[in-house]
């Protein structure tokens, strides 16, 4: 059977992936918008197998994309953009960066995340009894944290935050995207030059002491800033929405913030905000009795894998006490999310802090009126109006 990638979610079920994903066998043929005949993988086991197999490449010039208007050019990969490189090119950059994203460093950052979160919750409370959780909390916390980690002055955010969003909008005008890219690149070039002149004690400052060229450093800064801005922000807002829509689960977290670590992994599994990633076969690969030919692209469905009943019992139920750690919301294999410990720390701090500080927190609009990000590659909400009783 060949068909297009299912992308339409069922009305009234904003947290559930498109239903048609679940009518597919673990490996099925997929027709891409450019006419390419490739594959779709939906089971947890097979998703991990493909992502761990070096016969599948991440390189953009080889791939076909399963939806129209997805961002990301197909030109040559600029130096430093390791997310688009295979081993061994990828390995060199990843090694340099893994040393910067250690669990220990991320834990040390937790204190700052707590301060930043507390300041935003404070401002929300002072502001009255309603707020949009996206602008009040979900956007500023990850933005401020990634800026501090990289050594990008948060006051400069006007120079990159909106442009970064333009880069991930589905169907964005290529000229607009190029302008956004140019603006952020120019900003980071100035910053890297300043850090070379007067090295700072932050991630980009540290990297100026490595053997990376300016171009590599700027592009690495670009990748990390982009990855750190939009992902955690969406997970934070969508996570808050899911909790408000599941009051018994929210009550568990409020009663015992000690469950935050497993609760966050369960939310990552249940919500799977990144809908897919793609890999292209470098040689013929036999999988599940089928032959994937060299040059064919495989789309890996993260939401389908994370709702696979063979891996997670009762997968459509949000169960904050579940052991969900083996989810693939951060991917798998050599490209598994570099920022996952940072994202976990932010979510584990911010979500419990929000629900304990506002015991009467609820949606200010019917759940069906919440504007979902069906027009963006990364899923989430555009706005989340909430209200509470003032104490
Ligand atoms: C909840 C938040 C996040 C989610 C759901 C998420 C998800 C993912 C996924 C699925 C991948 C693998 C993509 C693939 O294999 O094609 C990935 C890779 C990556 N993520 Fe995240 N991410 C999050 C937060 C972050 C943050 C805060 C950073 C900050 C630096 C970050 C940086 C990266 C980088 C650099 C890669 C590429 C790694 C490589 O190619 O070696 N992510 N992420």
Dist. CA 145–CA 28, nearest whole Å: 40
For residue 317, the model assigns a pLDDT of 98
For residue 174, the model assigns a pLDDT of 79
For residue 127, the model assigns a pLDDT of 93
Q: pTM (2 decimals)?
A: 0.96
For residue 196, the model assigns a pLDDT of 94
Dist. CA 365–CA 244, nearest whole Å: 12
Ligand 1 center from residue 86 Cα (angstroms) = 16
Residues with Cβ within 6 A of ligand 1? Answer: 82-83, 94, 223-224, 227-228, 231-232, 235, 273-274, 277, 329-331, 335, 337-339, 342-343
Tokens, residue 358:
């506002």
CB 343 within 8 A of CB 284: no
CA dihedral 72, 76, 82, 83 (to 10 degrees): 20
For residue 68, the model assigns a pLDDT of 84
Locate the ligand 1 atom nearest the alpha carbon of residue 85 and give its number: 40
The CA-based angle 269-71-4, given to 5 degrees, is 65
For residue 2, the model assigns a pLDDT of 58
Q: What is the mean pLDDT, run by run of 10 residues, along the chain of 391 residues?
A: 84 96 96 96 98 97 88 77 96 93 81 96 96 97 93 85 72 80 90 93 91 95 89 97 98 97 98 97 97 98 98 98 95 97 96 97 97 91 95 67
Helix, strand or coil, per DSSP, at residue 65: coil
Percentages of the chain per state (helix, strand, coil), in multiples of 5: 50, 10, 40
Residues of 336-361 as b/e, b for ≥16 C-beta within 10 angstroms? ebbbbbbbbbbbbbbbbbbbeebeeb
| From 44, 72, 337, 341, mutation site for ligand 1 pocket: most ligand atoms within 8 A of C-beta | 337
Peptide bond before 88: cis, by omega within 30 degrees of 0? yes
For residue 201, the model assigns a pLDDT of 87
For residue 74, the model assigns a pLDDT of 63
For residue 295, the model assigns a pLDDT of 98
């Amino acid at each position: 059977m060949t068909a297009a990638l299912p992308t339409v979610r069922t009305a009234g079920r904003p947290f559930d992936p498109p239903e048609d994903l679940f009518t597919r066998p673990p490996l099925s043929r997929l027709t891409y918008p450019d006419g390419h005949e490739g594959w779709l993988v939906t089971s947890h086991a097979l998703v991990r197998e493909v992502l761990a197999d070096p016969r599948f490449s991440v390189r953009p010039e080889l791939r076909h994309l399963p939806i129209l208007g997805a961002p990301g050019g197909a030109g040559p990969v600029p130096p430093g953009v390791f997310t688009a490189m295979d081993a061994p090119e990828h390995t060199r950059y990843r090694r340099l960066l893994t040393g910067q994203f250690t669990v220990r460093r991320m834990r040390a950052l937790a204190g700052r995340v707590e301060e930043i979160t507390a300041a935003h919750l404070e401002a929300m409370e002072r502001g009255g009894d309603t707020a949009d959780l996206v602008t009040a909390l979900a956007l500023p916390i990850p933005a401020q944290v990634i800026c501090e980690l990289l050594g990008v002055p948060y006051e400069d955010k006007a120079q990159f935050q909106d442009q970064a969003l333009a880069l991930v909008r589905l169907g964005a005008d290529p000229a607009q995207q190029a302008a956004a890219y140019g603006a952020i690149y120019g900003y980071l070039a100035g910053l890297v030059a300043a850090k070379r002149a007067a090295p700072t004690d932050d991630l980009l400052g540290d990297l100026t002491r490595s053997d990376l060229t300016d171009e590599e450093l700027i592009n690495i800064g670009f990748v990390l800033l982009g990855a750190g801005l939009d992902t955690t922000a969406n997970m934070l807002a969508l996570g808050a929405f899911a909790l408000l829509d599941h009051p018994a689960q929210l009550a568990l977290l409020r009663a015992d913030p000690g469950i935050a670590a497993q609760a966050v992994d369960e939310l990552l599994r249940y919500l799977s905000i990144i809908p897919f990633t793609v890999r292209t076969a470098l040689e013929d690969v036999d999988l599940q009795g089928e032959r994937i030919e060299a040059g064919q692209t495989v789309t890996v469905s993260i939401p389908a894998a994370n709702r696979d009943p063979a891996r997670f019992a009762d997968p459509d139920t949000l169960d904050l006490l579940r052991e969900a750690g083996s989810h693939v919301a951060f991917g798998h294999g050599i490209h598994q999310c570099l920022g996952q410990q940072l994202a976990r720390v932010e979510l584990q701090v911010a979500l419990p802090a929000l629900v304990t500080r506002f015991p009467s927190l609820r949606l200010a609009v019917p759940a069906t009126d919440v504007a979902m990000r069906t027009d963006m590659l990364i899923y989430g909400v555009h706005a989340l109006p909430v209200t509470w009783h003032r104490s």
